[in-house]
Structure 1
């Protein structure tokens, strides 16, 4: 029987590491790690990986640059231990928001991230709800962008069962597909917030493009909440416009600084985030390990197919 090993990198939430290994039927090994006095990272895989498939499981927050580099080092170490396949899984893919050159002279950071993982020995990459899915095409092998909406829907159903009407709303048009996927699973309507300027007064308001939120339970959904300002303003405006309650949900809850306090002050009833990064106090965690395992299973099937296609 082929052997699968999940190598959990520093910073990966324990619930995600254990859930992933259990769902895959894989061994779980925590990488040894330390920082040298000069700031360099040391990592080591203590288990033998000869002829095994290694899943390097990590995440990109906090300390995104360090976590990325340690994942790359672990991929190289897995190759050195004789792993037959190496898959890199990053729950939160760091630098994913820099997916183009916004200003002349800037790098396309996410392309460099994916190149680093490939050059370190990763044959396939998986992540959860990447900021822009097309950015994964820069990886020169199979990729998986895990949809967390099944796990979020499962968590939200009991919270919303008493509501007469439920709307799922994205904070902008770019996040509309995310709202659509979740709304389908909840059997709810969906929309996105649009800025409107009064032609007479010049006043700008932000409200759903088509839906009237009066009396509705609203789920605000986005991929990343960092400082919380965008989601807090959106929640406050929706409540002013008559929403009964607002639940703030995000895949990657970075919650920098006083982000959670901002959301609470804005009036959100609950805050939900996936366990792609270490959970914050006051946030309900959504476990996405099962969805990640299913995606990695498909990647492993793809890699196995590549093996069969190789000439003898």
Structure 2
């Protein structure tokens, strides 16, 4: 087996910008070039996906970077086919770097005769030959148990904490973290504890899926700068309604920190016209031109933490160390120089 002097990374078409950013970060950390493996991921005229790897990967530790975001089915198939190509090319180990894990919202049966698609997707990945998964902010923690392989779930909360402490320095005493629903309380509480501020909850009741009938605020938000925290923002309907409700309850400002900016349909327009002063998302999903142009949407990078996590996996060292804000601060050098 050849000596593995560096990990090998390969990318599908889902988020090439993030893949190149991870590559540059890894090169900086190692003091040597860590480029993307030369390959092509294309489609035949009938939509079938074809993968060809142009470099020798025999005995190599391979990392596939691919979010299974929109179009979810195409990106998922790209991931599975790339894995099969690497496995048949005798790669030593295949790790899937999935910044956004699609189908995660289908993690349980909500009514009779419905699937648990997240489990099906996990089975497909394992069967394709993936031996380890690295992802960020899974919609539900139990999805890690759907896999029969190791799953490392990174958290955006330490990155968000650095951003909040930098951008709200000197006024954290008037900041309240808000969960947009009861199910997200643990996520919101974690950020609130990291930055040392209060917590509130927006309790929403739905008359049917996708339709919010009533929303109430649990907690004191009058005169506060409210920060809504969630893992996914899709059409932004509920998020914008929550911002309106907080303003009506006396909040002075509303900002949102969302890990995965799906932002489909009318989302960008809604956010632009909403009462939110800013929406902060990560680059786990490739941003559209509309998202990049929106005046109140800001993107924070995840490449530093993913690059370090890949190197930790390759070196056999701890990934959980990246859960701490103090650990992330040095690798986000210069971005949050005033955070404390």
Shift of 1:290: 2.6
Q: Of 11, 15, 18, which residue of structure 2 is paired with 1:8?
A: 11
Deviations 1:268-288 (A, max 9, x none): 001111110012222211112
Equivalent in the alignment of 1:291: 305
Shift of 1:289: 2.2
Equivalent in the alignment of 2:216: 206
Instruction: Please tell me whether the aligned partners of residues 4 and 27 of structure 1 are also in contact (alpha carbons under 8 angstroms).
Output: no
Distance 1:61 1:136 in 2: 18
After superposition, where does 1:121-200 map in structure 2 within 5 Å? Answer: 121-163=129-171, 164-195=173-204
Structure 1 spans left out of the alignment, 5+ residues: 197-202, 304-312
Q: Of 109, 120, 135, which residue of structure 2 is paired with 1:112?
A: 120
Distance 1:14 1:256 in 2: 19
Instruction: Please tell me whether the aligned partners of residues 259 and 281 of structure 2 are also in contact (alpha carbons under 8 angstroms).
Output: yes
Distance 1:139 1:52 in 2: 23
Instruction: Please tell me whether the aligned partners of residues 7 and 314 of structure 2 are also in contact (alpha carbons under 8 angstroms).
Output: no
Distance 2:215 2:298 in 1: 30
Shift of 1:88: 0.8
Deviations 1:27-58 (A, max 9, x none): 32364122211111122222221211000110
Equivalent in the alignment of 1:252: 260
Distance 1:284 1:275 in 2: 10
Q: Flag the 1:253–1:42 CA change in 2: closer, same or farther, 3 A.
A: same
Instruction: Please tell me whether the aligned partners of residues 200 and 221 of structure 2 are also in contact (alpha carbons under 8 angstroms).
Output: no
Distance 1:75 1:264 in 2: 39
After superposition, where does 1:224-235 map in structure 2 within 5 Å? Answer: 224-235=232-243
Distance 1:45 1:102 in 2: 41
SS in 2 for 1:28: coil
Q: Flag the 1:20–1:193 CA change in 2: closer, same or farther, 3 A.
A: farther
Normalising by structure 1, we get a TM-score of 0.87
Q: Flag the 1:116–1:302 CA change in 2: closer, same or farther, 3 A.
A: farther
Is 1:71 the equivalent of 2:79? Answer: yes
Deviations 1:172-215 (A, max 9, x none): 1211121122222222222322259xxxxxx95411x23x1111
Normalising by structure 2, we get a TM-score of 0.81
Deviations 1:117-157 (A, max 9, x none): 11111101111101001112111111111111121222222
Equivalent in the alignment of 2:330: none
Distance 1:302 1:98 in 2: 32
CA RMSD of aligned residues (A): 2.3
Runs of 4+ in 1 over 4 A off after TM superposition: 297-303
Distance 2:130 2:244 in 1: 43
Distance 1:204 1:71 in 2: 40
